[in-house]
Structure 1
């Protein structure tokens, strides 16, 4: 063997992605496309965004619908919103924290809405009724679990000012989430007469002058 060959470093082959890692990569590439393109997004577009070939998608997912379902699981994962809420500076004022909280929840709602709308429009026109009921039941169970996680994160944002509140932190968190959810994901942003700051002020101080 040539001495020069002995001096050459041994190249290690890069570890290939696991199926779960490949699925996660595809989902991350698909989410912005769903928000931008909607249900008409193709697996070819997703593959290009992920930097892979289209057949690679089908080594991780059975079909496009399964990709959409995985996107829904990802975008509704309560861990994402919990991380955002936990990052809010507890040294800032309650008013400032509440504004950040509302904006974070609305942003999450916008992301979730885009994926939900894409799945709804991409679903078969005449779905199997039993299958549809099963999906609705599963989604409801997951929604209850995710709401509980988000509610706990909101409580964490409010807790430093618990002595100032006329109601419990838990009730205040429920009130905030109920109002923000009922307004819809774009309501405050689209209504020029209502700003996020005004909504936060209303939640904290009410509608009466000098309240």
Structure 2
């Protein structure tokens, strides 16, 4: 018998579904069915579509949750609670971002067809907008002249990077007096090391551990007696 979903606010129901869906995508890939999702969440299949209009929006929401979870800042703060010292905090933060990055890559690869659909939708909208700009005689602005680029990362990816930058800047801010650069610069350096540490999509195995990243960030690569 199909389980009957308990009463839940839409935002809470959305989060509950995504909490189940993200690891399910990592395990089974993007072909996971809404029936399987509903079974894993303990709800009726129709309940999913009371929150998400279609499977595409559901899968894109999973990608957004993977790269930038709604409770990301709270979970980050909780992980660092009681961790003393800048080096130890950098190691913990690096472990978390690396783990999230690997999971996100799995989810993004699984939902890539839906991400490409965003590209197609954008192209269609740009085509319609261009026709309106040109008017009935084909005159008007040309695409890309003084406007935005034709296509870039989805807004949720840009927001995820902005949020991560703020999070890492906040990590360094209490240690400002220990730094030779601004906390925001230290955040960029740490993020660059983390993102360069493991790029399996480029055939690169994990090359740097969190401890190595912390050492390189805080101490550099030169010997102290050089």
TM-score if structure 1 supplies the norm length? 0.75
- Conservation of the 8 A alpha-carbon contact between 2:59 and 2:114: no
- The residue number in structure 2 matching 1:107 is 99
- The residue number in structure 2 matching 1:37 is 28
* Structure 1 residue 195 displacement after superposition: 2.1
Equivalent pairs, count: 195
CA change 1:58–1:155 in 2 (3 A) is: closer
Runs of 4 or more above 4 Å deviation: 121-129, 131-138
- Conservation of the 8 A alpha-carbon contact between 2:30 and 2:110: yes
SS of the residue corresponding to residue 181 of structure 2 reads coil
- What's the CA shift string for 1:75-126, capped at 9, x where partnerless? 2336533223323147612111110111111122123222211110466799
Matched ranges for 1:1-211 at <5 A: 16-77=7-68, 79-87=70-78, 88-89=80-81, 92-121=84-113, 127=120, 130-131=123-124, 136-137=151-152, 139=154, 141-184=155-198, 190-191=205-206, 194-210=208-224
Take 2:150 and 2:51, find their aligned partners in 1: how far apart are those partners? 22
* Structure 1 residue 206 displacement after superposition: 0.9
- Conservation of the 8 A alpha-carbon contact between 2:64 and 2:156: no
Greater relative CO (CA pairs within 8 A, separation 6+): 1
- Conservation of the 8 A alpha-carbon contact between 1:102 and 1:180: yes
- Conservation of the 8 A alpha-carbon contact between 2:199 and 2:205: no
Take 1:124 and 1:109, find their aligned partners in 2: how far apart are those partners? 20
TM-score if structure 2 supplies the norm length? 0.71
Query: RMSD over aligned Cα, in angstroms?
Result: 3.3
CA change 1:91–1:37 in 2 (3 A) is: closer
Structure 2: 5+ residue stretches without partners: 127-148
Take 1:17 and 1:131, find their aligned partners in 2: how far apart are those partners? 37
- What's the CA shift string for 1:144-194, capped at 9, x where partnerless? 33323222221221123222222121111111112212334679x954x63
Take 2:53 and 2:13, find their aligned partners in 1: how far apart are those partners? 13
CA change 1:86–1:121 in 2 (3 A) is: same
Larger Cα Rg: Structure 1 or Structure 2? Answer: 1
* Structure 1 residue 58 displacement after superposition: 2.8
Take 2:52 and 2:150, find their aligned partners in 1: how far apart are those partners? 18
